Amino acid sequence: MTATTLDGVATAAAVKEELRERIAALKARGIRPGLGTLLVGDDPGSQSYVAGKHRDCAEVGIESIRVDLPATASEEDVMAAIIALNTNPDVTGYIIQLPLPRGIDENAMLELMDPDKDADGLHPTNLGRLVLGVGGEITSPLPCTPAGIVEMLQRYDVPISGKHVVVVGRGLTVGRPLGLLLTRKGLDATVTLTHSRTANLESYVRRADILVAAVGVAGLIKPEWVKPGAAVLDVGITRVVNEETGKARLVGDVDPAVGEVAGHLSPVPGGVGPMTRAMLLKNVVDAAERVDS
Ligand SMILES: Nc1nc(=O)c2c([nH]1)NC[C@@H]1CN(c3ccc(C(=O)N[C@@H](CCC(=O)O)C(=O)O)cc3)C=[N+]21
């Protein structure tokens, strides 16, 4: 059997098409959504992601404002940039690209954001709303990667309710909020959240109807670990630089041979990454629509 590809590029394009209409409607009301990005340092992965976010904005008609600080920036410099984004009227939503350089307190920086401008859903108020909202309508921004994963599963009609989802990785941007989201009323998955200290990881992975791998260990998930027919979503990204050409290749957490066993496979690249970016745009549009409605 060969898995059906969960095509993140095509699905993100469909999401963006829907957003274009909503953006036009906002502009007709005199509201101009604008995304800010704050990038500190010169990590090549982060540079590439931020560049992608600005391209996406241009594609759908969202203004974007880029703030880049050098790796030598102090915590005070970062705080000043956050305060400026909070007060900049052209910025209706923004993100702090993570990880921040060592020595800068990430949680403190996230907490300094205006929660109404938090396009990533990572401000403690918005994470708190995700914890508090067991069911009902979601009115706070959701972390982009978990939202993108759910959106992709739904658009491919992969059943979630009552299914056993095994998440590998407990990080702030993916694993932890994904467990909270999938166990809400209306989605109703049963979630096992595993991590680097999980004993006998393989035994959990084998029981997954839906497997999400988000640890950043290249090729960790082996085909023998995967239940035949399971939906497998690869979120890990490891950049492997070719010594001769200097070019970077992206390698996921899932061994490509898993495609022979899985029912659905979201690959790296071309899977969850583009969906993450599409959900960022959606958060910006949602927030702009909330402003005076
Ligand atoms: N505050 C914050 N919010 C984030 O959402 C956030 C972050 N920090 N820090 C880093 C991670 C990582 N992340 C990705 C987004 C898109 C792709 C993406 O588009 N990937 C393409 C390939 C891109 C390339 O070629 O480099 C793909 O998988 O097809 C990847 C990774 C968002 N993150």
Q: Do domains 14-127+276-290 and 143-272 have the same CATH topology?
A: yes
Active site residue 97: yes
pLDDT value at position 293?
60
> Does the pLDDT at position 128 exceed 70?
yes
Q: Is residue 172 classed exposed, middle or buried when 0-12, 13-18 and 19+ CB atoms within 10 A define those classes? A: middle
Work out the mean pLDDT of the chain and round it to a whole number. 96
Residue nearest to atom 2 of ligand 1 (CA): 97
pLDDT value at position 16?
98
Q: How many angstroms separate the alpha carbon of residue 248 from the centre of ligand 1? A: 15
The confidence band for 291, taking pLDDT boundaries of 50, 70 and 90, is: confident
Give the pair of three-digit tokens for residue 77. 């410099």
Cβ–ligand 1 contact at 276 (below 6 Å): yes
> Does the pLDDT at position 202 exceed 70?
yes
Strands (E) across 111-263 are located at 164-168, 190-194, 210-213, 231-234, 238-241, 248-251
Global ipTM? 0.93
Whole-angstrom distance, CA of residue 38 vs CA of residue 259: 37
Provide, rounded to the nearest whole percent, the portion of the chain with pLDDT above 90.
95
> Does the pLDDT at position 166 exceed 70?
yes
Residue nearest to atom 31 of ligand 1 (CA): 273
Q: Where are the domains of the chain?
A: 14-127+276-290, 143-272
Whole-angstrom distance, CA of residue 3 vs CA of residue 1: 7
State which fold the 14-127+276-290 domain adopts.
Answer: Rossmann fold (3.40.50)
Greatest pairwise CA separation for the chain in angstroms: 56
pLDDT value at position 156?
98
Are the CB atoms for 101 and 122 separated by under 8 Å?
A: no
pLDDT value at position 228?
98
Active site residue 53: yes
State which fold the 143-272 domain adopts.
Answer: Rossmann fold (3.40.50)
- Which member of 7, 16, 56, 97 is catalytic? 97
Range 240-248, long-range pairs (CB < 8 A, 24+ positions): 248/44
The pLDDT tens digits for 27-40 are 999 999 999 999 99
**Angle, CA 120 vertex, CA 144 and CA 176 arms, to 5°:** 60
The confidence band for 133, taking pLDDT boundaries of 50, 70 and 90, is: confident
Whole-angstrom distance, CA of residue 194 vs CA of residue 145: 17
Residue 158's φ and ψ, nearest 5 degrees, are: -80, 120
pLDDT value at position 137?
81
Bridge partners of residue 37, in order along the sequence: 66, 95
The confidence band for 139, taking pLDDT boundaries of 50, 70 and 90, is: confident
Residue nearest to atom 9 of ligand 1 (CA): 98
Are the CB atoms for 246 and 132 separated by under 8 Å?
A: no
User: What mean pLDDT do residues 250-279 have?
Assistant: 98
The closest of 167, 199, 197 to 182, measured between CA atoms, is 167
User: What mean pLDDT do residues 157-184 have?
Assistant: 98
Are the CB atoms for 122 and 287 separated by under 8 Å?
A: no
Cβ–ligand 1 contact at 270 (below 6 Å): yes
Cα–Cα separations (whole angstroms), residue 106 to 70, 97, 111, 154, 197 = 16, 10, 9, 32, 23
